[in-house]
């Protein structure tokens, strides 16, 4: 269903925050937790709740896209980041990353996409030079990159259910191929 796909994608994309710990670091917190992982919110579709609970168990501190965007925004606002900032992303091309990129775009505008595989920018110096030419006059640039990992509907970490495919696949496939 659409709601299930949306919840699955949000929970998967939220792993970026949990793995990288960037939002917690920016907010002055810690990306690790000594307490039990929180449960999925009550409003979440029960089929998706088990996936979210697995994400939270496997990646303590994982956050939703909304939580990440809010924390990043609060942490960077004091440095002048906002409407006059260029969002530059370098996420893996896997479609599970698009919801996070879309949510960041709502706060910072359309991204300058520098391309990436397994969370690493692959455009190199040329990509960064091109991106720099797009920064608004007197503005700033927020570069967002990071790894991702899928969690399928059975709670298996490292795989993801894909639209139109009976069997899912690795996620991140690029990281698996490189290993």
Question: pLDDT of 131-176, one tens digit each?
Answer: 999 999 999 999 998 888 888 888 888 888 888 888 888 888 887 7
Does the pTM surpass 0.75? The reply is no
Q: What does the pLDDT read at residue 143?
A: 93
- Model pLDDT, residue 149: 87
Q: How many angstroms separate the Cα of 52 from the Cα of each of 16, 41, 56, 71?
A: 14, 9, 6, 20
Do residues 13 and 146 make contact, with C-beta atoms less than 8 angstroms apart? no
pLDDT computed for residue 68 by the predictor: 93
Q: What does the pLDDT read at residue 155?
A: 85
- What integer pLDDT is reported at residue 41 of this predicted model? 56
Cα–Cα distance measured from residue 88 to residue 146, given in angstroms and rounded to the nearest whole number: 12
Three-state DSSP class for 56?
A: helix
Q: What is the pLDDT of residue 3?
A: 44
pLDDT at 146 (0 to 100): 84
The DSSP bridge partners found for residue 145 are: 90
**Rounded Cα–Cα distance for residues 140 and 171 (Å):** 32
Chain position carrying tokens 């899928």: 150
Residues in the chain: 179
What stretches in the chain show pLDDT beneath 70?
A: 1-47
């Amino acid at each position: 269903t659409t709601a299930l796909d949306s919840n699955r994608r949000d929970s998967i994309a939220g792993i970026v925050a949990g793995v990288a710990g960037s939002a917690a670091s920016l907010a002055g917190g810690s990306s690790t937790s000594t307490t039990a992982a929180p449960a999925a919110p009550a409003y979440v579709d029960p089929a998706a709740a088990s996936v979210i609970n697995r994400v939270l168990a496997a990646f303590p501190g994982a956050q939703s896209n909304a939580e990440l965007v809010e924390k990043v925004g609060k942490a960077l606002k004091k440095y002048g980041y906002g409407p006059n900032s260029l969002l530059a992303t370098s996420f893996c091309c896997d479609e599970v990353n698009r919801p996070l990129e879309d949510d960041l775009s709502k706060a910072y505008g359309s991204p300058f996409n520098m391309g990436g595989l397994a969370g690493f920018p692959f455009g190199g110096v040329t990509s960064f030079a091109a991106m720099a030419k797009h920064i608004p006059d007197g503005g700033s640039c927020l570069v967002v990159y990071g790894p991702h990992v899928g969690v399928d509907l059975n709670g298996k970490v490292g795989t993801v259910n894909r639209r139109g495919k009976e069997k899912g696949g690795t996620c991140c496939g690029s990281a698996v191929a490189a290993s």
